[in-house]
């Protein structure tokens, strides 16, 4: 079964507008972490934002915020005031509970290709 | 520069050949993770090493193997290459018990012809 689901293969947004990228996840762990990464056309993976399962407040990092709804198992990324440079592929990822002292691997969704229109 | 170094950046090789991809983790990070990104499979976890020991295995083919050396750098060996192995291979590193902070390298783009 899919652990991370991103249902929007592609999204368009007008420059300076806000956009929400959807992510739902599935886990039976109580302790887990949710991540968003940006992958521009150059290929590198850029960390954007992190939300821990026990964090009571939604994470924010500059223009990025994470709308965390634990009961619904969703972790949507909100980008405010979109810029042309935000055009990229965006991946949602989850890390489940730690194992024997080391962090577990990330499981990624299929990604959303965001295009910002001038 | 993310602090994770992957070499080479690009690799073109023929079917049936063997290649080695190298990863140097960020200073102080004990865990190394290998991922394969292809158009049809997306980002797939291959294998994790922690302080020299294999810690977790994902969808890694038997033709693929990896190891982490005492200086913590890691190598991913791909043998009997097929056209379908063409992909972007990422290495990431993290501190052992870090809450977050997976740092990715810039990837090695492998093309099998």
Q: Over the stretch B44-56, which tens digit does the pLDDT of each residue have?
A: 999 999 899 998 8
Give the C-alpha distances (Å, rounded to integers) separating B25 from A67, B94, B103.
31, 8, 8
Confidence of residue B76 (pLDDT cuts 50, 70, 90): very high
Give the 3-state secondary structure of residue A57: coil
Q: Is B55 on the interface with A (CB under 8 A)?
A: yes
Q: Which residues of A touch B101 (CB under 8 A)?
A: 47
Confidence of residue B28 (pLDDT cuts 50, 70, 90): confident
Q: Tell me: the pLDDT tens digits for A4-21?
A: 999 999 999 999 999 999
* Partner residue facing B100 (CB), from A50, A99, A101: A50
B47 vs chain A: nearest CA distance in angstroms? 9
Q: Three-state SS string across chain B, please? A: CCCCEEECCEEEECCCCCEEEEEECCCCCCEEEEEEEECCCEEEEEEEEECCEEEEECCCCCCEEEEECCCCCEEEEECCCCHHHCEEEEEEEECCCCCCCCEECCCEEEEEC
Q: Is B97 on the interface with A (CB under 8 A)?
A: yes
Q: Tell me: the pLDDT tens digits for A11-52?
A: 999 999 999 999 999 998 888 899 999 999 999 999 999 999
Is A103–B102 a contact, with Cβ atoms under 8 angstroms apart?
A: yes
B21 vs chain A: nearest CA distance in angstroms? 16
Is B42–A102 a contact, with Cβ atoms under 8 angstroms apart?
A: no
A109 vs chain B: nearest CA distance in angstroms? 8
Whether pLDDT at A99 is above 80: no
First to last CA, chain B: 30
Is A108–B43 a contact, with Cβ atoms under 8 angstroms apart?
A: yes
Tell me the two tokens of residue B110: 């492998």
Between B47 and A1, residue with greater pLDDT: B47
Q: Tell me: the pLDDT tens digits for A70-94?
A: 999 999 999 999 999 999 999 999 9
d(CA A109, CA B43): 8
Q: Which residues of B touch A52 (CB under 8 A)?
A: 99-100
Whether pLDDT at B97 is above 90: no
Confidence of residue A62 (pLDDT cuts 50, 70, 90): very high
């Amino acid at each position: 079964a899919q652990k991370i689901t991103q249902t929007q293969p592609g999204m368009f947004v007008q420059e300076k507008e806000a956009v929400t990228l959807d992510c739902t996840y599935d886990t039976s762990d109580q302790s887990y972490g949710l991540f968003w990464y940006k992958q521009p056309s150059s290929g590198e993976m850029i960390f954007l934002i992190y939300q821990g399962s026990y964090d009571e407040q939604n994470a924010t990092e500059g223009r990025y915020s994470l709308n965390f709804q634990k009961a619904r198992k969703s972790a949507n990324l909100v980008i405010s005031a979109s810029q042309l440079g935000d055009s990229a592929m965006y991946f949602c990822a989850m890390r489940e509970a730690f194992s024997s002292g080391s962090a577990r691997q990330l499981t990624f969704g299929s990604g959303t290709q965001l295009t910002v229109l001038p | 520069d993310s602090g994770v170094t992957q070499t080479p950046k690009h690799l073109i090789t023929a079917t049936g050949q063997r290649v080695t991809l190298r990863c140097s983790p960020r200073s102080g990070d004990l865990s190394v993770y290998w991922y394969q990104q292809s158009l049809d499979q997306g980002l797939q976890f291959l294998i994790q090493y922690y302080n020299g020991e294999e810690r977790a295995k994902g969808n890694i083919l038997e033709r693929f193997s990896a190891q982490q050396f005492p200086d913590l750098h890691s190598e991913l060996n791909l043998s009997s290459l097929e056209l379908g192995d063409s992909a972007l291979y990422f290495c990431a590193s993290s501190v052992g018990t870090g809450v977050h902070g997976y740092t990715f390298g810039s990837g090695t783009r492998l093309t099998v012809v």
